Each structure stands twice: as C-alpha cells, then as structure tokens.
Amino acid sequence: MAIYRPSEARQQKGQTAPEEPNLVPIMNLFVTIIPFLMLMIVLSQVAMIAMNFESSGETGGAGDGTGGGGSEELIEIRLYASEHATGLFPGFEIRDVDRSVTKIPKVGDVYDFASLQQMLVQLKDKYPNKSEIAVVVYPDVMYDTLIRTIDLSKQNGFVTVKYMNPKQMYYY
Amino acid sequence: MSSQNSTNKKKGTRRVRRKTEETRGLSITSLLDVLTIILVFLIKNVSMEAVKISELPDMHYPTTITDEKLLDNPEVVPVKLYQDRVLFGIDNLSMGTPDDIISDANKRDAMRQYFEREMANIPADKKDKACLVVQADAFLRCIYLTEIIRVATYANFPNIYFATIEDPDWLSDFRPASPQ
C-alpha cells in the first residue's frame, strides 16, 4: 500500500484536464478585421501609362505636331486612320531624325503593331541614347491604337513620349 | 395496508433522473485556422493607398505591357470617358457626352474651371504630385483625349496617366508584314 504524504495526496486530487485556451476574443478580433480588410482589398487593379507634361517643354505636351521644333530632333510616329485627306494612308508613318520616312500601312483593318515593334527595335539600335519619341495622333485614330503605340515605344526604351496633334490646315 | 399502498404509489411516481452529460464547448480552433489564412491573404492584397484606381466594370480598357506606378502620395484627379458620358473627379461629376466636350464651348469652359479648381485645392508643396488619371474606353476616338489633355495641361497638370489593363502578351497576336 502506497503511503502519500498529506500534501502529495492533496495535489493529486486537485489535478484536472488542461483547459483549452479561450479563443473567443481572438475570434471577435478576426471577425472584425476581415470585413474591414475585404472592403479595402483591390483584386483587379488597372495598369498605368504615364505621360509627363512638364512646363519646361522637354518631356511631353500636346504640341502642334510640327516635329523637331525643339533643340533635339525627334523621331515621330504618325498615326493615321482611314478617313484622312488624300496622300495619307491608314497606318503608321515613322519619320526618322534624318527625315527618312517609313510607312507601315494597316493589314486589313488592323494596325501592324508587329512591324512597328521591329521598326522601333531598329531605331533604338540606331539611336541608343535617344529616350524621347513623338506620337502624332490624328483625331479619328482610336484610343486603343494610341495606347498600344505608346506602350511599344516605352517597351523599346523610348520612355518619354510626346503626345502631339497634327497641324490642322484648311484650304479655301 | 394503507401504508403499503402509499409506499407503492410513491414508488410509481418516483422519477429517475438521468445523469446528464456535460455539453462540450464548440471547438473553434479549425475556424480560427481558416480565418488566420484568410487574414494573411487579405493583408497581403490590401491597398493602403488613399486613392484606389480600380477597374471599372462597364469600361473596355486598352491593353498594355507597360505598367507604370503612380507617384508616391499623389493628388489624383480621375476622369472617366465612356462612349456615352464623361465623368470628372471622385464624385463622378457629369460633363455630358464626349461629343459635348468637342462641340460645346460651355462644357469646355466648365472642364477648364474644374481642373483649375482642383489644382487650386492642391497644396503648393504638392502641386508637382498632381496626377490626372484618364480612364477611357478603348474604342473612343483620340480627339476626345486630346481635348481633355489640352485643357488639363492648360490648368498646369504636370502628370497625366492613362489607365489600361496589363497584358504582357498582346503583341503576340500580331504578325509582321513588310514595311513599305
């Protein structure tokens, strides 16, 4: 027969199963935080294309499309839609700083972005230090076409894109 | 005899109490595990930016490879150009239709006043952080964009952003033809 000292016997009698921690306050906290975070969550965020319009006139601006009026000669990408005057064509026209012109007409109803991409790669190889390019947009060109053109320019190292309008000339 | 009867009666009415089992507390540990995982996911994705430029469900965005970030702590003025309406600012102030901003001089003047007022509300030390964010439908003509940019630059907006949807593969749909 085992003999316990009175204190040991009392301790054995008092032992119970360990209690689970009370998780209810933590649950309350979580249930409050989660709806709050769900309100702030942005699951589909849009991308951005930046254009700088600094007052110095060096980087961007809705110019008049005369091209090369500044201190540095610019490469121009002209975007034409189909409705323009005689002599113009639907597609891209790239005017190099040496005044040579490359035409990339539409293929069917679609602008030939793949050829534009090739052309921009060649231009970057030719002028590795150039980071500016001008995009001259005719009014009827679709916004989607403009954005894709700016996108390709930026992808090929022409990070500063000048947004220009063609010079409107009226003959009476 | 009567005492025996009363004893039997008592026996019949005696209720036997069942030993009730102690109800066990609902285990919320597994629920807590799930909530912890969700919490981590939400904290990772939450945006603490003051201005959220999120995708508008009823707008067809152009796609781009480029995704440039907004300036730090920008002062954002959003402009939404739909095919049938133009909305300015966070409060979606209506400026009529896209054709109105070309044909109606009053609308253009209202647009200019709006941009100038927004610029005036921006503190002087944050004017260089003013950003006009244009969210426009991909199938709008550029004439509308040009007009908005012209008025915004007139009001001295230094930064203009175009909202797009990022798609790194959009160019793969195009095959090159020989340039003339």
A23 phi, psi to nearest 5 deg? -95, 0
Q: What gap in Å lies between CA A157 and CA B39, rounded to an integer?
A: 40
How remote is the C-alpha of B134 from its chain's centroid? 15
Residue with the bigger pLDDT between A63 and A149: it is A149
Between A53, A105, A114, which is nearest B153 by CB? A53
Quick check: B32 contacting A, CB < 8 Å?
yes
Question: Searching chain B, which residue's CA lies closest to the CA of residue A102?
Answer: B180
Question: Searching chain B, which residue's CA lies closest to the CA of residue A111?
Answer: B174
Quick check: B138 contacting A, CB < 8 Å?
yes
Q: Looking at A54-58, A90-94, B95-99, B171-175, which range is the least confident one?
A: A54-58
Residue numbers in B near A114 (CB within 8 A): 171, 174-177
Q: What gap in Å lies between CA A49 and CA B65, rounded to an integer?
A: 10
pLDDT at A5 over 80: no
Q: Do B171 and A152 touch (CB under 8 A)?
A: yes
Between B32, B46, B136, which is nearest A143 by CB? B136
The pTM assigned to this predicted structure is 0.71
Residue numbers in A near B69 (CB within 8 A): 48
- Intervals of chain B under pLDDT 50: 1-3, 7, 179-180
What's the farthest any 2 CA atoms get from each other in chain B? 129
Quick check: B172 contacting A, CB < 8 Å?
no
Q: How confident is the model at residue A154 (pLDDT cuts 50, 70, 90)?
A: very high
Q: Do A102 and B135 touch (CB under 8 A)?
A: no
Q: Classify burial at A148, counting beta carbons within 10 Å of its beta carbon; exposed 0-12, middle 13-18, buried 19 or more.
A: buried
Determine the pLDDT at residue A98.
85
Place of tokens 């001295």: B156
Q: Do B159 and A46 touch (CB under 8 A)?
A: no
3-state secondary structure of B28: coil
> How near does any CA of chain A get to the CA of B112, in Å?
16
Q: Which of B146, B180, B152 is nearest to A65 (CA)?
A: B146
pLDDT at A16 over 90: no
Q: What gap in Å lies between CA A125 and CA A112, rounded to an integer?
A: 20
Quick check: B64 contacting A, CB < 8 Å?
yes
